Amino acid sequence: MELLHVAEGVAREKHIDKEIVIEALEEAIQKAAKSKYGHDQDIRATIDRKTGTTILKRYRKVVDELPTIDEEAEEDFDAPTTEGLILLAQAKRIKPDAQLGDELVDDLPPFDFGRIAAQTAKQVIIQKVRGAERDRQFEEFKDRVGEIVNGIVKRTDYGNVTIDLGRAEAYMRRDETIQRENFKIGDRVRGYIYDVRQEPRGPQIFMSRSHPGFLAGLFTQEVPEIYEGVIEIKAVARDPGSRAKFAVMSNDPGLDPVGACVGMRGSRVQVVVNELQGEKIDIVPWSPDIATFIVNALSPAEVSKVVLDEENNRIEVCVPDDQLSLAIGRRGQNVRLASILTQLDIDVLNEAEEAERRVEETRVRSALFMEALDVDDMIANLLCAEGFRKVEELAECPVDELAAIDGFDEDVAAELINRGQVYLQTKADEFEKQKKTLGIKDDILDVDGVNASMALKLAEHDIKSRDDLADLAGDELVEMLGTDVMNEKEANALIMKARQHWFDKTDKAEAKAEDEAAA
């Protein structure tokens, strides 16, 4: 009964199943028995779950000959073994009616553990229990990613913190802590579980206090309306320890989401601010309208105009001169957080810069229309004012839509569209000639995002095929085309599109190899 009491105590202490501990004891006794009776014996130990009695049995299978053991192949796991085998002649001395394939089972007497056997048994039990404890920890915490937990600092190492969670340990790297935070052993700390991994040394639980999810989790704990789902958290952007922006939406039209999160006299938001070491928090209402959401995200700055560039996924925001520094924020913090919150690139301009840029854009577009359509500046400016930016847009415009513009009739509209189509055809013919002269291959034009003018510019730098483009780095492509054409992020995206056919070829080759192997 003492064995059962030991198993029960260990299982209770380590929070694992009692059966696992008993199985570990059985394996330990088996190893010790093999040390006594020989490692070539198949010995099995069983502990009675009611009385605690240990039963040892030896199992031997009857064969006509033993396999030959190659000494050089002893470490090979697939090498033959004589464990648990007995020759037919020997078996007949023990059991006269023994046949090939029979299994002889002998009861073995109890024995006293020697020092070495006891040490071996102890190691087996420790290893088994530790493995079961690790599995239990992983099963317990793998579904807790995204939760906020409390723990006590157990160790600190150059800013990296090991935290005791009671039934497991968590690890928080220095870059996952808030600025100016210093933890000492014994400090109580609260953090956000953002990852749990099963590794050979055991489950690794990773905690963070700088993760956006930590801020969202704190508000979920402090604001009942968020916990109940009446208020929804749409986006979080943080500069840990300094400032954060937090977008919320109410599913109840009669409930103000910002007011609910702030609480009476700021009581709710103040609890979160204190936990985050004084981090300033801007709570902004979320809106499905991008322009409105950007205006809210840039608060406390006032925005006078928002221009959306859907093609390049960029936003231009115009603010009064006295609001420019407030909109940008210290070291660009305000606009950076607003950009993360909206997931858009935001350019902030004052009214003078915005007006100057618009005048320059209109001048460039107007000059393009005057050259392409052979019209005067009045018609060119009129087309610019109506939102036409490229000759292609004009050439594809229906006649009745263009004729609806004040000052145009159907004849004028048809003539402008015809001139636009002729201009584009002429440009296309010129490009075909240049393409042949420069040796530009068709496959580079198949890459989504590469147009004729871009292909000509690349050809000047000896980039004439898709493979040539795929071999480039992002900064090299930007240098060739110019920053006015694309930035490094867009260049990297274009290069990845050019490389896609490499991946497709690899996938096809692997699929073909798998089919051949299956055949």
Q: Read off the pLDDT band of 165 (50, 70, 90).
A: confident
Residue range 14-22: mean pLDDT, rounded: 74
Per-residue pLDDT tens digits for 444-464: 888 888 888 888 888 888 888
> What is the 3-class SS of 400-439, one letter each residue?
HHHHCCCCCCHHHHHHHHHHHHHHHHHHHHHHHHHHHHHC
What architecture (CATH level 2) is domain 145-208?
Beta Barrel (2.40)
Per-residue pLDDT tens digits for 246-260: 899 999 888 999 999
Residue range 84-91: mean pLDDT, rounded: 76
Contacts of 96 (CB under 8 A, 6+ apart): none
Of 279-288, 349-358, 378-387, 395-404, the range with the highest mean pLDDT is 279-288
Q: Read off the pLDDT band of 115 (50, 70, 90).
A: low
Type of residue at 97: D
Per-residue pLDDT tens digits for 346-356: 888 887 777 77
Residue range 383-390: mean pLDDT, rounded: 80
User: Could you give the percent of the chain with pLDDT greater than 70?
Assistant: 92
Q: What is the pTM of this model?
A: 0.60
CATH code 3.30.1480.10 region(s) in the chain: 2-68+77-137
> Hey, how many other C-beta atoms are within 10 angstroms of the C-beta on 29?
26
Superfamily of domain 439-519: 5' to 3' exonuclease, C-terminal subdomain (1.10.150.20)
Cα 252 from Cα 268, distance rounded (Å): 20
Residue 28 or 240, more confident: 240
Q: Read off the pLDDT band of 113 (50, 70, 90).
A: low
Type of residue at 18: K
Cα 11 from Cα 19, distance rounded (Å): 8
Q: What token pair was written down for 296?
A: 């809210």
Q: Are 438 and 452 in contact (CB under 8 A)?
A: no
Residue 142: exposure state from Cβ atoms within 10 A (0-12, 13-18, ≥19): middle
Q: Enter the CATH code of domain 287-389.
A: 3.30.300.20
Per-residue pLDDT tens digits for 312-328: 667 888 888 888 888 88
Residue 403 or 70, more confident: 403
Which CATH number does the domain 2-68+77-137 belong to among 3.30.1480.10, 3.40.50.150, 2.60.60.20, 3.40.50.2300? 3.30.1480.10
Compute CA distances 2 → 48, 52, 124, 251, 349, whole Å: 12, 7, 19, 61, 80
Q: What integer best gives the mean pLDDT of the chain?
A: 82
pLDDT of residue 89: 78
pLDDT of residue 29: 79
Residue 427 or 273, more confident: 273
Cα 351 to chain centroid distance, Å, stands at 39
CATH code 2.40.50.140 region(s) in the chain: 145-208
> Hey, how many other C-beta atoms are within 10 angstroms of the C-beta on 368?
18
> Hey, how many other C-beta atoms are within 10 angstroms of the C-beta on 262?
17
CATH code 3.30.300.20 region(s) in the chain: 287-389
